[in-house]
Amino acid sequence: MREIIKWSKDFETGIKAFDDEHKFLVKTLNEIYSLLGEGKKEEAKELLKKRVVNYAAKHFKHEEEVMEKYGYPDLERHKKTHEIFVKTVIEKLLPKIEEGSENDFRSALSFLVGWLTMHIAKPDKEYGKWFKEKGIVIEDEMVNID
Ligand SMILES: [Fe+2]
Ligand SMILES: [Fe+2]
């Protein structure tokens, strides 16, 4: 399968549930990229809506709940970052994918890949560090896909 993004150690937060959720998002972005390469734009679109947008929202909620539960100090800022991302996706990205050309779709996909990798590698990894320092072990399972 052609990949637009490769899972790397730099993405590991050390919290299994969140790493599994992130891996699922990365895998789905690669599937979308593959579908686009095969000219299956409609299937790619569906996957993006169902498996990326919905799943990202579930994942963000999961992170926020856990951060809240343990009093993570940077929760508010982290939450705001999630919020802005969701708003951008809904207001700008989805309409562009819905009505735009294949190039628009590809640039939207690049935006998603760029945002997610930056977000996982920076603020998400930071909470991982914090939980580790505090000796807090999260035993959650990853959130369901459907
Ligand atoms: Fe995350
Ligand atoms: Fe996050």
Query: Is pLDDT above 80 for 9?
Result: yes
How large is the average pLDDT for residues 81-110?
A: 94
**Residue 83 domain-assigned?**
yes
Residue 50 Cα to ligand 1 midpoint, Å, equals 17
Q: Provide mean pLDDT across the span 26-51.
A: 94
Answer yes or no: is 1 within a domain. no
Answer left, alpha or beta for residue 137, where phi above 0 means left and psi between -120 and 50 means alpha: beta
| Residue 146 lies inside a defined structural domain of this protein | no
Domain count, the chain: 1
Tell me what pLDDT residue 145 has: 86
Asked whether residue 111 is assigned to any structural domain, the reply reads: yes
Whether 2 maps to a domain, the answer reads no
Cα-to-centroid distance, 60 and ligand 2 (Å): 6
| Span from the CA of 46 to the centroid of ligand 2 (angstroms) | 23
CATH number of the domain within which 55 lies = 1.20.120.50
Residue 146 confidence (pLDDT) above 90: no
Domain-located, residue 36 = yes
Report yes or no on 5 lying in a domain: no
Provide the CA 75 distance to its chain's centre, in angstroms.
17
Is the model's pLDDT at 17 over the cut of 90? yes
Q: What angle do CA 134, 72, 125 make, to 5 degrees?
A: 75
Q: 62 labelled as ligand-binding?
A: no
Residue 8 lies in a domain: no
